Chain A
Amino acid sequence: MNTLQIKNLSASIADKQILKELCLEIPQGEVHAIMGPNGSGKSTLSKVLAGHPDYEVTNGEALMNGVNILGQDADEIARSGLFLAFQYPVEVAGVSIANFIRAALQARLPDGESIKAVDYYKDLYVQMDELGMDRKFTSRSLNDGFSGGEKKRCEILQMSMLQPQYCILDETDSGLDIDALRIVSAGVNRMRSKDRGFLVITHYQRLLEYIVPDVVHVMWDGKIVRSGDKSLALELEAKGYDWIKEEIAA
C-alpha cells in the first residue's frame, strides 16, 4: 500500500499526447531516478502527478497509497503528501519565504489550530543552516531575483519543512555549483527514510553519485523504456541515448 503506483498513464496538453501508457512504481523507502532526452515528458509526468490543471489525463491511474490522485486538485494532492521540486521554480513577488512555508504548514492543520511562531522559526533556521542558506532569505520574496542555485536550495528547504511522503525532484541538480550540489544532495539524503519515496529526474549521472538510486529508469517518448540499477546511468552517460533508440526500433 505504501507506494506510488502509476498505471498506464496517458496525458496530453494542447491536443498533443505526451505521456503514453506510462507505468512506474515508487515504493516508500526507495529512490528512483529517471533519465531521458529533452522533451521526452519527464517534467510532464511530474506536473501531471502534481495535478496541474492544463494537462488532460486520457488514460490510467496514479495510486498514492492506494488512492487515485489523478483528478484531485493540486493542493489536495500536495496535502496528502506529494511534493514536487520544480525544474523552474516560479517567482512570487511580495510573498516572503517564511510566510509562504508557514502558510503551507498551516494549510495542513485542522481548522482552529495554528502554527506556533517560535517553534516554526526554530525549525526553519535549523533547516536553513543545514542547507547553508543565509537567514536573511526568510524575508525575501519567494524566488524573486534568486539565482538559479538559490531557487533550487529554496525548493529543498520547502521540502524539508513540509516532510512529504513522496518527493519528485525535477532537475534539482541543474544550475547548482559543485558545493551546492553536495549540500542539496546531503539535504535529500537526510530525508531518505523507509517512510518516504523519491523520484529524481536528472540528466547527469554525477547527481546519482551523491543521491544513490535504487532503480534507474529511462524515459523515451512518453514512456519508461528501460529500468535497471545505478549502472544503467553510467551506461547512458557513456553511450548517450542512441543505442536505446536503436533497441526500441529493433
Chain B
Amino acid sequence: MIQATEFDIDTEKGNFRFDTDYAFDAGVGLNPDVVRYISNVKEEKEWILNFRLKALETFLKKPLPTHWATDDLKNINFDVIRYYLAKGQKPSRSWDDVPDDVKNTFERLGIPEQERKFLAGVEAQFDSEAAYSNMKEGLEKEGVIFVGPTEGLRDHPEVFKKWFGKVIPTSDNKFSALNSAVFSGGSFIYIPPGVKLKQPLQAYFRINAENFGQFERTLIIADEGSEVTYMEGCTAPKFETSTLHSAVVELVALKGSKIQYITVQNWSNNVYNLVTKRAMAEEEAEVRWIDCNIGSRLTMKYPGVILRGRKARGEVLSIALANSGQHQDTGAKMVHAAEETSSNIIAKSISIGTGRSSYRGLVRMPKHLKNCKNNTECDALLINSDSQTDTYPAITVQGEGNSVQHEATVSKVSADQIFYMQQRGLSEGEAMSLCVNGFVNDLIREFPMEYSVELKRLIDMEMEGSVG
C-alpha cells in the first residue's frame, strides 16, 4: 500500500482574500436579536420575521444528529460564528458598479469571463449578500425571474410564497432550521410555462470572512413544460478557524418540466458544509442533481427528489473527493410517491490519505404504488491504506412490479499500479490523477462541458497536492 504523505488539501484557487469593510454586521453568536437585526436590515415583512423567529426556536430545540452522523458536528461552536455580514449595497447589474475588492475576488475566480462565454445569468454572492446579479437581455421579457430571496419574497410573493419552505420544512433537520432563521442570499428563480433556457444560470457563493456562516436559500420553480439548468460554485479562503456553510435548496418541477442543478463545491478544509437539498417533481417532470464535493472539513449533503407525479424522474449523480482531514458524508434520497416513477443514483467517492467518504442513500417505494424503478450504483476508490469509505443504504421497496437495483464497489489504487505508471514516466501525482480521472470519467461525461473541464482541473490539482 502507498504511504500516506503530508497532504496539502488546499486547492489554492480559492485561497486568497482581499480586505473588506462591512457596513452591516450582526455580531457574534445567535439569539432572537440577531434574527431581528437581519430581518430589519432586509426590511422584511412581519411574516418573514415570524418565520425566522420560529425557526430559531426549532433550531435551538433540535439536537445535533450525532446519533447517526459524525461527532465532529459537536466541534461547531455556534456562539463564535457571525451570522450576517454585508457591505450594504444592492446587487449591481454591471460588474463596473461592484466594489473593487469584491469585483477583484470574482474576477480572480473567473466569474465574469464565464458569464460572457456561456451563461444566461449570474449571481455572485459575497458573504451574506449578492454583489452582482444579472441576466441576459430578453429573459426578463419572457417572464424569467432570477433574484435573491429578499427580492423574491418582497417583489414576487405570488410566485414564491406558495412554495417557500414547503419542499424542505423548517423542522426537517437542525440545519434547515438554522438556515430558516438566518437565511440571506441565494437564488429565487421562476421559469414560466414552456420557457426553455438554452444556457445555464449560475450562482457563485464566496465566503470571505473568518468565523462566518453563510446561509443562502435557493428556491427554483420550473413551471409546466419549462427547462432550466442552474449551476453553483463555492469557495472560501483558508482560515485558521472553522466556517459554516448551511444552505437550503428547494426545487419545484411542475408538470413536464426539467431542472438540472449542478454543484461544484471547492471549499477550503475548515468549512463545515451542511446543506439540505430537495426537489419535488410533478407528473412527467425530471430533476437531476449533479453534485461534486471537493474540499470542506465535513460535508453532509443528500440531495433528494420527491417523485410526486406519475412518470416523474429523479436522478442524482455525485462525486465526492475526501482528502486527509476531510469527511464527505454524501448521498441521495429518492421518495417514490406516484406510479411509474423512476430514479437513478450514481455516487462515486474518492478517499485520499486519511480522508473518509460515506454514502447514505434512501430509496422509498410504498406498497400501493406500481411500476416504480430505482437504480443505485455507488463506487468508492481508496488511494491510501488509511483512506476510508463506508456505505449506508436504506432501501424500502414494497408493492408489486417495483424494481430496485443496487450495486456497490470498493476499489483501491495499489502501489503496484502506481509503480507501473511511474515506470512509464508519470509522477506519482500524475499517476493518481489518471486513476482518479479514470474512475470518475464516465460520470463526468454527463456534465456540461465547461463544468467537466473545471472538475478535471480541480481533481488534478487535488491529486498533485496530495503527494509528498
Q: Which residues in A have some Cβ–Cβ distance to B below 8 Å?
A: 50-54, 73-75, 78-79, 83-84, 86, 89-96, 99-101, 103-104, 107-108, 141, 158, 162
Q: Which residues in B have some Cβ–Cβ distance to A below 8 Å?
A: 411, 414-417, 419-428, 430-431, 434-435, 437-439, 441
CA gap between A182 and B428 in the complex, in Å: 35
CA gap between A75 and B78 in the complex, in Å: 48
CA gap between A79 and B430 in the complex, in Å: 14
* Chain A to chain B contacts (Cβ below 8 Å), 14 pairs: A51-B422, A53-B415, A73-B422, A74-B422, A75-B428, A86-B423, A90-B420, A91-B417, A99-B434, A101-B424, A103-B430, A104-B426, A107-B425, A107-B430
Q: A75-B428, A103-B434, A107-B430 are in contact. Are A92 and B423 (CB under 8 A)?
A: no
Do A100 and B417 touch across chains, with their CB atoms under 8 A apart? no
Do A95 and B424 touch across chains, with their CB atoms under 8 A apart? no
Q: A79-B425, A108-B425 are in contact. Are A100 and B434 (CB under 8 A)?
A: yes
Q: Which of A50, A100, A158 has the most CB of B within 10 A?
A: A100
For A105, the closest partner residue in chain B by CB is B425
Q: A100-B434, A103-B434, A107-B430 are in contact. Are A92 and B425 (CB under 8 A)?
A: no
Across the interface, which residues of A come within 8 angstroms of B424, CB to CB?
Answer: 78, 100-101, 104, 107, 158, 162
Partner of A75, one of B415, B427, B437: B427
CA gap between A51 and B437 in the complex, in Å: 25
Query: B468 → chain A, closest Cβ, in Å?
Result: 10
Do A107 and B434 touch across chains, with their CB atoms under 8 A apart? no
Do A75 and B426 touch across chains, with their CB atoms under 8 A apart? yes
Do A90 and B422 touch across chains, with their CB atoms under 8 A apart? no
CA gap between A54 and B417 in the complex, in Å: 13
Q: A90-B416, A103-B430 are in contact. Are A95 and B425 (CB under 8 A)?
A: no
For A80, the closest partner residue in chain B by CB is B425
CA gap between A107 and B433 in the complex, in Å: 13
Across the interface, which residues of A come within 8 angstroms of B439, CB to CB?
Answer: 93-94
Do B441 and A75 touch across chains, with their CB atoms under 8 A apart? no
Q: A107-B425, A107-B430 are in contact. Are A53 and B419 (CB under 8 A)?
A: yes
The A interface, classified by DSSP as helix, strand, loop or mixed, is: mixed
Given contacts A74-B419, A92-B438, 12 further A-B contacts (CB under 8 A): A51-B422, A53-B415, A53-B419, A75-B427, A75-B428, A84-B423, A89-B420, A95-B437, A100-B434, A107-B424, A107-B425, A108-B425
Query: B89 → chain A, closest Cβ, in Å?
Result: 41
Query: B23 → chain A, closest Cβ, in Å?
Result: 45
Total contacts A-B at CB 8 Å: 78
Partner of A92, one of B415, B420, B428: B420
Do B435 and A92 touch across chains, with their CB atoms under 8 A apart? yes
Query: A19 → chain B, closest Cβ, in Å?
Result: 18
Query: B359 → chain A, closest Cβ, in Å?
Result: 19
Across the interface, which residues of A come within 8 angstroms of B437, CB to CB?
Answer: 94-95
Query: A89 → chain B, closest Cβ, in Å?
Result: 7
Q: A90-B416, A90-B420, A92-B420 are in contact. Are A104 and B425 (CB under 8 A)?
A: yes
Across the interface, which residues of B come within 8 angstroms of A83, CB to CB?
Answer: 423
Across the interface, which residues of A come within 8 angstroms of B416, CB to CB?
Answer: 90
Across the interface, which residues of B come within 8 angstroms of A162, CB to CB?
Answer: 424-425
CA gap between A232 and B411 in the complex, in Å: 46
Q: A52-B419, A75-B422 are in contact. Are A107 and B438 (CB under 8 A)?
A: no
Query: A94 → chain B, closest Cβ, in Å?
Result: 3
Across the interface, which residues of A come within 8 angstroms of B415, CB to CB?
Answer: 53-54
User: Shortest 3 CB-CB distances between A and B: which pairs?
Assistant: A94-B438, A74-B422, A104-B424
Q: A90-B416, A93-B411 are in contact. Are A141 and B438 (CB under 8 A)?
A: yes
For B428, the closest partner residue in chain A by CB is A75
Q: Which of B414, B416, B439 has the most CB of A within 10 A?
A: B416
Across the interface, which residues of B come within 8 angstroms of A92, CB to CB?
Answer: 417, 420-421, 434-435, 438
Q: Which of B414, B415, B425, B435 has the most CB of A within 10 A?
A: B425
Q: Which of A79, A83, A104, A108 has the most CB of B within 10 A?
A: A104
Query: B414 → chain A, closest Cβ, in Å?
Result: 7
CA gap between A158 and B420 in the complex, in Å: 12
For A143, the closest partner residue in chain B by CB is B420
Do B420 and A78 touch across chains, with their CB atoms under 8 A apart? no
Across the interface, which residues of B come within 8 angstroms of A94, CB to CB?
Answer: 435, 437-439, 441
Across the interface, which residues of B come within 8 angstroms of A52, CB to CB?
Answer: 419
CA gap between A125 and B427 in the complex, in Å: 26
Query: B384 → chain A, closest Cβ, in Å?
Result: 14
Across the interface, which residues of B come within 8 angstroms of A108, CB to CB?
Answer: 425
Q: Which of A74, A90, A93 has the most CB of B within 10 A?
A: A74
Across the interface, which residues of A come within 8 angstroms of B414, CB to CB?
Answer: 90
Query: A164 → chain B, closest Cβ, in Å?
Result: 9
Query: B81 → chain A, closest Cβ, in Å?
Result: 41
Across the interface, which residues of A come within 8 angstroms of B434, CB to CB?
Answer: 92, 95, 99-100, 103
Query: B366 → chain A, closest Cβ, in Å?
Result: 37
Query: B346 → chain A, closest Cβ, in Å?
Result: 14
Query: B5 → chain A, closest Cβ, in Å?
Result: 12
Query: B435 → chain A, closest Cβ, in Å?
Result: 6
Query: B426 → chain A, closest Cβ, in Å?
Result: 5
Across the interface, which residues of A come within 8 angstroms of B431, CB to CB?
Answer: 75
Partner of B425, one of A54, A75, A99, A141: A75
Query: A217 → chain B, closest Cβ, in Å?
Result: 22
Do A103 and B426 touch across chains, with their CB atoms under 8 A apart? yes
CA gap between A51 and B421 in the complex, in Å: 12
Do B423 and A74 touch across chains, with their CB atoms under 8 A apart? yes
CA gap between A99 and B416 in the complex, in Å: 19
CA gap between A96 and B438 in the complex, in Å: 8
Do B438 and A93 touch across chains, with their CB atoms under 8 A apart? yes
Do A78 and B435 touch across chains, with their CB atoms under 8 A apart? no
Q: Which of B411, B414, B417 has the most CB of A within 10 A?
A: B417
